[in-house]
Amino acid sequence: MISLLDHTATILLRQLQAGALSAVELAQAYMDQIDRCDGTVKAFLHIHADSVLEQAERIDRKRAAGQPVGRLAGLPVAVKDLLCQEGQLTTCASHMLGNFHPPYDATAIRKLKEADAVLLGRTNLDEFAMGGSTENSAFQKTTNPWDPQRIPGGSSGGSAACVAARMAPLAVGTDTGGSIRCPAALCGVTGLKPSYGRVSRFGLVAFASSLDQIGPIAQTAEDCALLLEVLAGHDPNDSTSVNRPVPAYSLAVRRPLVGLRLGLVREHFGEGLDGEVEQAVREAIRVYESLGATVAEVSLPHSRYAVATYYIIASCEASANLARYDGAHYGYRTKEPAMLDELKHQRKQLHEAGDSAGLEALDSALIRMYRCSRSEGFGLEVKRRVMLGTYALSAGYYDAYYLKALKVRRLIHRDFQEAFKGVDLIVGPVTPTPAYKLGEKADDPLAMYLFDLYTASTNLAGLPGIAVPCGFSTGRLPIGLHLQAPPFEDERLLRAATMFQQATDWHTAAP
Amino acid sequence: MTEPYVILIGLEVHVQLLTRSKLFCGCSTRFGAPPNTQTCPVCIGMPGSLPVINRQAVQLALRTAVALNCTIPRSTKWDRKQYFYPDLPKGYQISQYDLPLSHCGWLEISDPKGAFASKRVGITRAHLEEDAGKSMHDEAVGRADSRIDLNRAGTPLLEIVSEPDLRSPAEAKCYLTELKLLLGYLGVSDCNMQEGSLRVDANINLHVGTADGPVPTPIVEVKNMNSFRAVERALSYEAERQWRLWQELGVRLGEPGGHKTTRGWDEGRQATYEQRAKEESSDYRYFPDPDLLPVVLPEETVESVRASLGELPAALRARLETGYGITPYDADVLVNQGRALVDYYLAVADACGDGKTACNWIQQGVLRWLNDRQTTIDAYPVPATEFAALLKAVLAGELTTSRGREVLAEMIDHGETVEQAMKRLGIERVDEAELETLCRRLLEANPKIVAQVQAGKEKAVGSLIGQAKKHNPNADPGRVKDICLKLIAGM
């Protein structure tokens, strides 16, 4: 018998609407599943234990009283701990914000509340979304529900893992260079990074402002369409959000695309791509062909610079975005008495040694407070990127790094424009390999960065991209298919993904 | 040239724009609210908050830039200027770096007393940026506590940078006065230095004449000046200090020990003091703010702003000089009082038909009154029409100037019309025939005086004027004298 938890959000919503299922029953079922599984998966940083059933009851009451209810009424949603929620701990998986309770809701959170979603809890991530494995969380390491020895991918690892482990039917993630699509692929679920500007970033704690997008993670593209419909839309609080109407994605999603033209990126099927991943992706393309799609090879000549370009731009923006965490206003501050004692001690030593140059160079108390608060509050990967970005923006290096990266970004964008002249979608792998072992790349940041090879350029060009389950490795690890569309063709992407999911059942597999 | 050097001064002026809300959020910009009561997640830099540009601020900045004859690019962008300080909550200030809202303008200054020739001072650029918060350092005994007030954080500032075209502290002061006046006419800022809505930093150095041509001395940036007079004094002090230093050490700009330094002005000691000695070029790591889109400024927008500027001080002065026949000095005095006073002047001058008289009366009658009460023309109790009626009576000889002043005083004190005030003072227009009868009578009663006048001592008629006033206080002394002389001549 198919369990309640194996249903897609679309089906659950239908049951809720029909009165066959109550929001409380559903919320309880997920809470029970969290109790059973999250000890191993560790997808959640915190669960709104005391309010989940309350939220669900309120929605049931509304429904029973015949009051109008929101688009997602009664559906539980898990949210990456990077979106501000009023009064709720929002940590960004960082000690820096370990005790931070925002005074306001992110627009995406407000929309979820208005849609009567049941907010389940906050999911784990790489600290400030910097990473591809969720190992950079300051609090816990999330494991892959398909193999607890392996990473779930990142940075939205908690969101993808909780959907894969059936601890939530819907989850919200964020994607800066692949952070929705990579964990979705590695956990065997569907994850959409919308077009840049489609979803408001207001209240999303910024990593790299020109690349960050909030997006849905769910079992199916149809469920992603449902959630995107709620999240998307213009927001006067976000100047980069785009003022164009939100299509009824969830209604359009089941309409197949006729005469679909797929583009296969020549450069994405080369060195570094795992054989089993390549095989699964090529098999998925054959499925499309059997559905009437044509396939052509396209070239993205600058795609080999995507990772380098991405890491310069993202780190530059991050170095400025994270400057506000300085211990002065909120968040972590170093223990001041100890800091001042040490400073005093150092001053005394330098004085006794007659080291006037040393005294001159010694920090003021304020500078030392900044230095200690940031050194202690941030994790290694965050510090690495802040350093990288600070360096690349420094006088004398700006032109060689940041400015050059902007130019390459434009070329990458142009590559896509050229490619989309002949094809409707670009198709390829999401990640070069299936999930690797926890700790495997912990000491090799470059190898970790290269994992974004196929996804980073989507963000650089502002395109929508989706990861769809398309097979398993021999070790039964999920493999993802990557589809990309021109800007604001999110609907095309969702329809194409749904076509595939109607023809295959990879997305129904549960660990 | 009396000194063997030329002074080069460039000014950086920050003015707070008169917007209702801050540059990137909806918080109020009102001055003087309790600390940290005019803040929101955006202006205190909460995680996840995003800036949204205030269109009114762009509009006011554009007004100023156009009035400063600046070039306005078709689009302008926002940059992050990064540095750590507790009153800068985001760790960066949103400003404009390489594509400012405007550049390459000028402001004409002149000295009405002719101390220097009128000149155009180049405006390097005028750009928008957000203000930081305020740090208040508590230096109470035993604790060095600092408190931060973020009410000001995010307030829109227009930074107006001049070229080093100013050649004396007096020119610098004149530039500031003219700039402040212009900003007032434009209605873009209240320019209150005490409340910090206008702040001035000055860069100054000397070009010393030598056998090998002019040699620049190290540039000094002077800060902490809280009045235009302070700016003038600080720059005078600094020019002398640099000249002395040059004579002692002969260090030129850019040589070891010749880097740019920052000095503060100590109002109490009337001296500048070193603020930042270390040679450090701050690296602000400017880069475009990805949270904001560039602002597009189409030609039509700029033109509609240009059309809406109204008459600016320089044009107004010229109109007063040529159209109303007043001196450049007088025109300057009137225009410097602001548009409302000029409008009052124009109404009076037009109605009484004599610009010069209107100017004199307004300077003596109105400006002094306003100045004594530290108030503005809106508070002046006599409407322009009544003021003009008074001047008409004076011009027609119905009132002497001194009687006119008395009437004006009555009008002010009792809010009366000219007629009412004259009645209260018992002033009546004396009929010419009546006056002649009076004079005839006086001449008959004073044959000695008549004889003296006939003997060539015209002055003797003066005592008759006194007697006439005794008989009729409204008698115009000038008229009495004229009539008496005429009658004597006819005898």
**pLDDT per residue as tens digits for the range B319-338:** 999 999 999 999 999 999 99
**Do residues A326 and B91 touch, judged by C-beta distance below 8 A?**
yes
If DSSP codes are grouped into helix, strand and coil, which group holds residue A274?
coil
Closest CB to A329 among B51, B89, B281: B89
What's the pLDDT tens digit per position in A130-156? 999 999 999 999 999 999 999 999 999
> Within a 13 Å sphere around the CA of B419, how many CA atoms are in the beta-carbon half?
1
The fold adopted by the segment(s) B432-489 is: Arc Repressor Mutant, subunit A (1.10.10)
The B residues from 329 to 368 touching A (CB cutoff 8 Å) are none
Q: Pick from B130, B285, B286 the residue to mutate for testing the A interface (most A CBs within 10 Å).
A: B285
If DSSP codes are grouped into helix, strand and coil, which group holds residue A150?
strand
pLDDT of the residue at B1: 44
What would the two tokens of residue B243 be?
């000249």
pLDDT of the residue at A260: 97
Query: Which of A60-64, B350-354, B439-443 has the lowest average pLDDT?
Result: B439-443
CA angle A395, A397, A403 (to 5 degrees): 105
| B256 interfaces chain A, CB cutoff of 8 Å | no
- What's the whole-number mean pLDDT along residues A281-294? 98
Closest CB to B291 among A240, A390, A394: A240
Domain residues of chain B, as ranges? Answer: 5-300, 310-425, 432-489
- Subunit contact B287:A316, Cβ cutoff 8 A: yes
Rounded Cα distance between A91 and A375, Å, is 17
> How far is residue B435 from each of residues A87, A386, A414, B464, B476, measured CA to CA in Å?
91, 96, 98, 12, 9
Q: What is the dihedral of CA B326, B332, B336, B342, to 10 degrees?
A: 20
Confidence of residue B140 (pLDDT cuts 50, 70, 90): low
> What percent of chain A stands above pLDDT 70?
100
Which run of H or of E encompasses A466?
strand A465-472
Which stretches does DSSP call E strand in B363-415?
Answer: none
pLDDT of the residue at B481: 85
Confidence of residue B2 (pLDDT cuts 50, 70, 90): low
CA distance B63 to chain A (A): 24
What's the pLDDT tens digit per position in B5-45? 999 999 999 999 999 999 999 999 999 999 999 999 999 99
Confidence of residue A3 (pLDDT cuts 50, 70, 90): confident
- Please provide the distance, in angstroms rounded to a whole number, between the alpha carbons at the two ends of chain B: 67
Residue A74 region by backbone torsions, left for phi larger than 0, else alpha for psi between -120 and 50, else beta: left
What's the pLDDT tens digit per position in B427-451? 776 777 888 888 888 888 888 888 8
Confidence of residue A2 (pLDDT cuts 50, 70, 90): low
Task: Fill in the DSSP letter of residue A241.
Answer: S
| A328 interfaces chain B, CB cutoff of 8 Å | yes
- What's the whole-number mean pLDDT along residues B71-100? 97
Closest CB to B50 among A202, A324, A398: A202
Q: Could you count the other beta carbons within 10 Å of the beta carbon of residue A337?
A: 8
- What's the whole-number mean pLDDT along residues A480-492? 98
pLDDT of the residue at A191: 98
Q: Could you count the other beta carbons within 10 Å of the beta carbon of residue B115?
A: 11
**Do residues A331 and A437 touch, judged by C-beta distance below 8 A?**
no
| A203 interfaces chain B, CB cutoff of 8 Å | yes
Closest CB to A238 among B50, B89, B283: B50
- Subunit contact B148:A328, Cβ cutoff 8 A: yes
Averaged pLDDT score across all residues of chain A: 96
Averaged pLDDT score across all residues of chain B: 91
Q: Is the dihedral of CA A366, A367, A370, A371 positive or negative?
A: negative
Radius of gyration of chain B (CA): 31
What's the pLDDT tens digit per position in A463-475? 999 999 999 999 9
Task: Fill in the DSSP letter of residue A206.
Answer: P
| B213 interfaces chain A, CB cutoff of 8 Å | no
Q: What is the dihedral of CA B335, B338, B339, B341, to 10 degrees?
A: -80
Task: Fill in the DSSP letter of residue B329.
Answer: H
pLDDT of B233 over the 70 cut:
yes
Nearest CA to A445 out of A375, A388, A362 is that of A388
pLDDT of B277 over the 70 cut:
no
Query: The CATH number of A26-265+423-508 is which of 3.30.930.10, 3.30.70.260, 3.40.50.300, 3.90.1300.10?
Result: 3.90.1300.10
- What's the whole-number mean pLDDT along residues A416-434? 97
- Which residue's structure tokens are 């007088």? B330
DSSP structure string for A276-291: HHHHHHHHHHHHHHHT
Domain residues of chain A, as ranges? Answer: 26-265+423-508, 326-377
CA distance A403 to chain B (A): 9
Cα nearest neighbour of A371 on chain B: B84
Q: Pick from A94, A100, A202, A241 the residue to mutate for testing the B interface (most B CBs within 10 Å).
A: A202
- Subunit contact B290:A208, Cβ cutoff 8 A: yes
- Subunit contact B48:A402, Cβ cutoff 8 A: no
If DSSP codes are grouped into helix, strand and coil, which group holds residue B148?
strand
